[in-house]
A and B are shown apart, each in its own frame.
Chain A
Amino acid sequence: AQSVTQPDIHITVSEGASLELRCNYSYGATPYLFWYVQSPGQGLQLLLKYFSGDTLVQGIKGFEAEFKRSQSSFNLRKPSVHWSDAAEYFCAVARVKGSGDKLTFGTGTRLAVRP
């Protein structure tokens, strides 16, 4: 079965600084990869997804992520963080199987933004 690891539970960055959130997956082939964001007390919103092709994908709110097959990683980045980016971020993977498969979520990284 696939698994996802987000090694950082909490990260604090200063407003305007760059951000990188780590995500590593375990799966025998290239899976489908997703990043979601959750504001406090709310549901999850899709930031971006990777299926195939260009390994650098652009998402909403100025986020991007890079798929690195050799490292089994799909790290999320943003060049300049805004205070409104404070939230919890989840990486998720799904097997490239088709119907009836499930998303597996990481345990999340909580981002705090220092003024």
Chain B
Amino acid sequence: DGGITQSPKYLFRKEGQNVTLSCEQNLNHDAMYWYRQDPGQGLRLIYYSQIVNDFQKGDIAEGYSVSREKKESFPLTVTSAQKNPTAFYLCASSISDYSNQPQHFGDGTRLSIL
């Protein structure tokens, strides 16, 4: 079955450490997204990619970085510059980045600070 796979499900970060969250999709979608979810705040867009080798900052990109070297993969790195990284991170994809295209979501990665 096609879908989005996020790994790991749980991740712990030490102070000053960069960590990378994996997102892989086999839906042949062009657009991919990273969201951060905090209790009571809904989903906030971190980065999105409309096509391979291109990506754009979302609303809360500071302290994060991404790459899009392959259509199927859109990894997110949480850098040490992100001072409050504890959150639930969701990856999504859509056929294209046209606003009427529904997004398909992975099951998320929960990141915590050690």
Nearest chain A residue, comparing its CB with the CB of B108:
A43
Number of interface residues of B (CB under 8 A): 26
Q: With an 8 A cutoff between CB atoms, is A63 at the interface?
A: no
Are A41 and B108 in contact (CB-based, < 8 A)?
A: yes
**How many Cβ-Cβ contacts under 8 Å join chain A to chain B?**
66
Are A105 and B102 in contact (CB-based, < 8 A)?
A: no
Partner of B90, one of A32, A44, A101: A44
Give Cα A97 to B100, complex, Å. 9
Name, among A32, A46, A99, A103, the residue most crowded by chain B CB atoms within 10 Å (CB to CB): A103
Q: With an 8 A cutoff between CB atoms, is A70 at the interface?
A: no
Are B107 and A100 in contact (CB-based, < 8 A)?
A: no
Give Cα A102 to B58, complex, Å. 9
Partner of A42, one of B42, B45, B92, B108: B108
Q: With an 8 A cutoff between CB atoms, is A9 at the interface?
A: yes
Nearest chain A residue, comparing its CB with the CB of B50:
A100
Q: With an 8 A cutoff between CB atoms, is B80 at the interface?
A: no
Q: Do A107 and B40 contact each other (CB < 8 Å), given the known contacts A43-B90, A102-B48?
A: yes
Are B107 and A49 in contact (CB-based, < 8 A)?
A: no
Partner of A97, one of B42, B99, B107: B99
Q: Do A99 and B107 contact each other (CB < 8 Å), given the known contacts A9-B40, A49-B102, A90-B43?
A: no
Interface hits, B1-46 → A, CB 8 Å: 4, 6, 40-43, 45
Are B42 and A105 in contact (CB-based, < 8 A)?
A: yes
Q: Which residues of A does B touch, CB under 8 Å?
A: 9, 32, 34, 36, 41-46, 49, 51, 90, 94-103, 105-108
List 16 A–B pairs whose Cβ atoms lie within 8 Å, in order of A's numbering: A42-B107, A42-B108, A43-B6, A43-B92, A45-B105, A46-B103, A90-B42, A95-B99, A97-B99, A98-B98, A99-B96, A100-B97, A101-B98, A103-B45, A106-B42, A108-B40
